[in-house]
Amino acid sequence: MEIKRFGPYKGSAQNGGRPIYVYKKKVNGKWVTTSSNKARVDYEKAHGTTLSRDTDVDHKDNKGRKGSDSISNLQAMSHSKNVAKGNVSRAVKKVVKKVIKKGTKNK
């Protein structure tokens, strides 16, 4: 099977703008295009392992596009725990935003 890797390219809004690699594979004489997050590829390469589909590579300091993709900032965790971590983070930001708005109305 022939595989070509392209990128990294800037990701979409769907993945928070994080970089991705694009792969083209020749399967049964046809080219198939897939993609993978750069952080996941880097983590798997550094640790010499392939993660299962239900395992995510999480950024410890999640700063979106400004975040670091260094190996020391990446950790593997189950998809459900990663989603829960994101939900907690969004809930905290929402509460902080409400407190700030409430404080500015009294002035």
Domain around 27? 3-78
Residue 106 lies in a domain: no
Residue 40 lies in a domain: yes
Domain count for the chain, please give it.
Answer: 1
Residue 53 lies in a domain: yes
Residue 15 lies in a domain: yes
Residue 99 lies in a domain: no
Give the pLDDT of residue 93.
Answer: 73
Average pLDDT score over the chain? 86
- The position carrying tokens 């509460």 is 95
Residue 100 lies in a domain: no
Cα first-last separation, the chain: 67
Q: How many residues are listed for the chain in this entry?
A: 107
> Which residues are CB-contacts of 57 (< 8 A; sequence separation ≥ 6)?
37, 39, 40, 43, 51, 74, 75, 76
- The position carrying tokens 């020391």 is 72
Which has more pLDDT, 103 or 4? 4
Name the burial class of residue 82, with classes exposed (0-12), middle (13-18) and buried (19+) by CB atoms within 10 angstroms of its CB.
Answer: middle
Give the pLDDT of residue 86.
Answer: 83
